Structure 1
Amino acid sequence: MSRLTDLLRTAKQLDPQLGEDLEAEVRPLQERLPFGLNFERHAPEAVELAGHKIRKGSKVRVLPPRGSTERGDQRIWVVKSIRGDSAEIVVPNGEAVETASAQIDDLILVAEFRDRIYPGLRPDGSVERGDDKPFHTVINGENFHALEQLTFTHEQSVDAIYIDPPYNSGARDWKYNNDYVEGDDLYRHSKWLAFMERRLKLAKRLLKPDNSVLVVTIDEKEHLRLGLLLEQTFPEASIQMVSSQINPAAVARSGQFGRSDEYLFFVMIGEAGPQRLPLGGDWVTTKGRTHKGAIRWDLLRRSAENAARTDRPGMFYPIYIERGTTRIANIGDPIPLNADRTAVATPEHQEAIWPIRKDGSEGRWRLGPSAAREAWNAGYLRVGSNKGENSPVYYLARGEQKKINDGIYEVVGHADDGSVVTSTLDASERNVVPATQWRISSHDSTQYGSRLIALLLPGRKFPFPKSLYAVEDTLRFFVADKPEAVVLDFFAGSGTTAHAVMRLNHQDGGRRQCISVTNNEVSAEEQVKLRKDGLRPGDSNWESLGICNYVTKPRLRAAITGDTPDGEPIKGDYKSIDEFPMSEGFEENAAFFTLTYESPWRVGTDRAFAAIAPMLWLRAGAVGRRIDAISNGWEVADSYGIINDLDQSSEFIAALQAAENVRIAYIVTDDEGRYQQLANELPGVETVRLYEDYLRNCEITGDF
């Protein structure tokens, strides 16, 4: 393409219109990314939805007999009719159509990702200790469909997304199209990329375009492909990768180096960037940086590129010191490029310092002579030790001078050589941004991941949980100054991200909220045992052992209440920055939901309000009372109101005006004119037309 670009440039010079026409034809070819990340975009995924109601027209699979561990029939059938406990199902079979009869109990609902879905939420309980604080929410469901649902409730509203996706290790740690992806699958990398791209594109719609961050953790198996995928999906973002030690002991690998770290990709959108924070000893670097609490004196002699005398002859001049001391006496002028420095006369009782590099060659100073004299007069220039013409000279750069002017550092006196002596900062005042190598003791995933879960949920295990403090520290760089930030984790696993957000709120009184999305998958090993016992997905004994029900929800309940699932106070204390007994819990609220699949007809005719109601509450900020039913034509809660009888508009408007914190008014009507009329009478309040806006959003997302 580079040669083609040159030819197009030449064509434009000869004939501007021809050049523009050719460029317009070539641009679509360039967008095919022949030099970018190319992979097979496999057929859209399909997911089995245990426990969801099967209706006429539903897509289903036929489950293997109870007690069998076989994979079963993977064809997707369509329910033609239902009679009692049985259904007639059909599936294309070549040019013919195969028909069969099956018990409803032997069928499981299937959703294909190419299909439009109309999501809802079924409440599964809550825990409330946070008074009027927003609720953290946990959604049990397929995360792609949950992201589709969130485009209605949170489009361009999320401040930070933190995800820990499957690492594609080949160890049956994730599924594609209802199958575990094995290590010998020739397309496993391609499947993983297709799997991730679909979700990242939806996630992009949720992030605030002016200031937000996406953090993705990964190891060496997919970090190269992930980096390219992020570059392609977020071309406008600033992307940086950090290496973080998560296991100081390292995991031994046959024939390989032991693995002790993982990678974090930071996708910074708009004005987002890591904030300067007061960091502890583990984060401190060396060489006298501000991390140590002292003001930073930089070497005046330039190093690295463009550091030779010949690069900037005007920056090659002598600095004179009193003989035998480090006190500066004067600053000379640049000498001609062809002049010999040894021929320059030195005043009596003085010594000349020149910018001589370590290899003996002539270098240059960072400041010109007039700027150097200005710094010297202000006390911002000093000599480190007397080593003749090679004596090191240090200065305070403009950024450090500004810290003095802003009062961050106080000038407490002057040294014998006239240079300023400043105050130092204690640990709580050292606001810095760390480097890209993190070796933080509290990020140990064994000590503060696995063992911490064992304290919260005795007897329960979760594979490879993140250190609570690692997630907390990561988020802090981007939400420390956002006390009401919305954080999303759609690979929520054990719930570490929500737990970390609670920790952040505890430290500064924030009202941040976390949306956690996880499925209720049972591990591959556990599935075999359960199937041999005659259980299936959807059975209560099976579902009770799924990730969401067995780990995620109980963990967050335990974190908030301070009690284990058995009602015992949690043993142990939180560490790192904010230390207190775990048994104290958090003054937070959390609500739990299961993703449901509604029909557009039921939604449009107001027959699915119970399923849509939690989404309306989420969109209004997930704060205060939730409106689960409307009995008198309208209802107003803490942050929103709903009206489905427009003949009562006057009463509804009066109630909204009397409320203090109402953000949204939902208006249920098929009449566009009446909707606009009521919306015009609610200045300063966002209005949403139901169910038109919801259905339109589902249709747009379904075409995604």
Structure 2
Amino acid sequence: MTNLSGKKRQQMLEFLEKIKEGLSDETSLSTVRDIEEELTTRKYGLVWEKHEERIDQEMQTKVPVFTEIKERRISMAGREDGYHYLLEGDNLHSLRLLGETCRKKVDCIYIDPPYNTGNKDFIYDDAIVDEKDGFRHSKWLSFMSERLEAAKELLADNGVIFISIDDNEVYALKLLCDEIMGEQNFVTNIIWQKKTGASDARGIATITEYILVYVKDIRRADQIFDKNYQAYDRKRYRFTDEYEEERGPFYYDSLDRGSVRYSDALNYAIEAPDGTPVYPNGRTEFARDGWTWKWSREKVKWARENGFLEIMPSSRKENGWAVRYKIYLNVDNEGNPVEKCAPYKNVIQTVLNANAAADIKRIFQGETVFKYSKPVELIKILLRYLKKKDALVLDFFAGSGTTGQAVLEQNRQDGGKRHFILCTNNENHICEEITYIRLKRVIEGYRMKDGGKVEGIPANLKYFRTDFEEK
């Protein structure tokens, strides 16, 4: 962030005006104008040293093209629902090419980019960026900004992007995404508890990572995100009455509430079956102790007449009566049909990072072929957040192919027809020998180390490699 004050900026601009008065050559004037533009266009946001990658220079004279490796095509008999795609090559090349065919067609993007920890996890322009590199953060921001700008062009109008990250760059990434995606299109920062502890912690154990969530257009959020229909405990609904066929089973809740939102209008007497006046908090008379009824007089009258309210003897209440209302499974407390659900929450605690190693080891017969993948179940959870069950899902930091496996498994689980596009380089033959083999085995089935067979998830796959042609 820049710490330049408005007053200081204005002083510098006034000084540049004086300099311009004494300049006559166009080169010097152009330089001064460039400085003026830098001072006037950036009011708030990230400031970093922009870097040019080798691939940017290559694309000035060459055109990237996709070439299918046909011997790696997987076509399953009876599968007429199209192909999934695995793209080998630099992901910036892939994104540029996808811009020609998939602009505004991608429904969901998930990426797990380098976290830029300084521990040789980030390679920029064929060189490892470590913690001693003075341009470590600006190189990472340059790297990410180009790819996110290209990815935004691929997102459909009701599209969403999920980005995994940790503490090293989460704050810079949030500001970068605010600039590229629009601050107003930020949905949430999902907190993922990836482990239960850390014995080597310095003071306080860090057991979480983050997943930033942005949509292309926040006005379409209700069209994008599904509800959690498992958000209620079915076992609570253990009572029935004469309305069961229409309303379903129910459970009881107390009608009185102790609340800071006190109102005299909600602090009134309800007549018990024996004529006793019943006030909130078990009182027998009016008092302003902070307790009120949840419903108005009119609603209580309606609820009693329609079987939504019961007044029962109670030895625990001073006035001898408990006022309880019924919460039905199939209707709300006004009798309207409802489907019990709630928005998904921005905390994931049900899947651990250790599961990722087991996921990939199972497919490769116990061998550790890749160390830094995400758990399949984590990506499946994100897919379940979305309403669209035939979404086109893109991962341009695909690594070992976790997102592809998650799409296939979630399709099998809920009958969806999602398709994936995975982009990864072939450093150390990862695309050919890990990503492709993993997807092939998930699709066709495989044997585990103990000899047990895992049935495949039939699907069609095409494998493309990025080549170059002269312009």
**Quick check: 1:560 aligned with 2:443?**
yes
Aligned to 2:268: 317
Q: How far is 1:388 from its partner?
A: 3.4
Identity of aligned residues (%): 27
Q: What is the rounded CA distance, in whole Å, between the counterparts of 1:121 and 1:185 in structure 2?
A: 34
Aligned to 2:156: 208
**Quick check: 1:174 aligned with 2:122?**
yes
Q: How far is 1:372 from its partner?
A: 3.0
SS, match of residue 234 in structure 1: helix
Q: How far is 1:408 from its partner?
A: 5.7
Amino acid at match of 1:388: E
Change (3 A) 1:298 1:255: same
Q: 2:262 aligns with which of 308, 312, 321?
A: 308
Change (3 A) 1:355 1:231: farther
Q: 2:52 aligns with which of 40, 44, 48?
A: 44
1:78-477 aligned within 5 A:
111-112=56-57, 115=60, 118-124=63-69, 125-129=72-76, 131-209=79-157, 211-235=158-182, 236-248=184-196, 250-270=197-217, 271-272=220-221, 273-279=224-230, 300-301=255-256, 307-309=261-263, 313-322=264-273, 349-353=276-280, 361-382=289-310, 386-388=316-318, 395=325, 401-402=331-332, 431-440=341-350, 443-447=351-355, 449-458=356-365, 459-477=367-385
Aligned to 1:547: 430
Q: What is the rounded CA distance, in whole Å, between the counterparts of 2:40 and 2:323 in structure 1?
A: 52
Q: What is the rounded CA distance, in whole Å, between the counterparts of 2:235 and 2:262 in structure 1?
A: 24
Q: What is the rounded CA distance, in whole Å, between the counterparts of 2:257 and 2:418 in structure 1?
A: 45
Q: What is the rounded CA distance, in whole Å, between the counterparts of 1:128 and 1:240 in structure 2?
A: 39
Of 211-220 and 370-379, the range deviating more from structure 2: 370-379
**Quick check: 1:518 aligned with 2:389?**
no
Amino acid at match of 1:452: D
Q: What is the rounded CA distance, in whole Å, between the counterparts of 1:304 and 1:120 in structure 2?
A: 65
SS, match of residue 454 in structure 2: helix
Q: How far is 1:570 from its partner?
A: 3.4
Q: Deviation per CA, 1:312-359: give whole Å up to 9, x if none.
A: x43332334346xxxxxxxxxxxxxxxxxxxxxxxx534322699xxx
Using structure 2 for the length normalisation, give the TM-score.
Answer: 0.76
Aligned to 2:411: 505
Amino acid at match of 1:167: Y
Query: Is the 1:44–1:114 Cα contact (8 Å) retained in structure 2?
Result: no
Query: Is the 1:353–1:389 Cα contact (8 Å) retained in structure 2?
Result: no
Q: What is the rounded CA distance, in whole Å, between the counterparts of 1:401 and 1:222 in structure 2?
A: 46
Aligned to 1:633: none
Amino acid at match of 1:477: Y
Change (3 A) 1:373 1:398: farther
SS, match of residue 121 in structure 1: strand
Amino acid at match of 1:513: H
Q: Number of matched residues?
A: 413
Change (3 A) 1:31 1:375: farther
Q: What is the rounded CA distance, in whole Å, between the counterparts of 1:173 and 1:258 in structure 2?
A: 21
The unaligned stretches of length 5 or more in structure 1 are 5-27, 48-110, 324-347, 410-429, 523-545, 564-568, 574-580, 601-704
SS, match of residue 370 in structure 1: helix
Q: How far is 1:196 from its partner?
A: 1.5
Q: What is the rounded CA distance, in whole Å, between the counterparts of 1:556 and 1:46 in structure 2?
A: 30
Query: Is the 1:315–1:366 Cα contact (8 Å) retained in structure 2?
Result: yes
The unaligned stretches of length 5 or more in structure 2 are 1-5, 7-36, 239-247
Change (3 A) 1:387 1:493: same
**Quick check: 1:484 aligned with 2:412?**
no
Query: Is the 1:129–1:586 Cα contact (8 Å) retained in structure 2?
Result: no
Amino acid at match of 2:465: T
Q: What is the rounded CA distance, in whole Å, between the counterparts of 1:583 and 1:558 in structure 2?
A: 9
Query: Is the 2:259–2:290 Cα contact (8 Å) retained in structure 1?
Result: no
Q: Deviation per CA, 1:278-333: give whole Å up to 9, x if none.
A: 44xxx77899699xx9767666556766x133xxx43332334346xxxxxxxxxx
SS, match of residue 369 in structure 2: coil
Q: 2:43 aligns with which of 34, 52, 67?
A: 34
1:514-663 aligned within 5 A:
514-522=420-428, 546-563=429-446, 569-570=447-448, 583-600=454-471
Of 121-130 and 586-595, the range deviating more from structure 2: 121-130
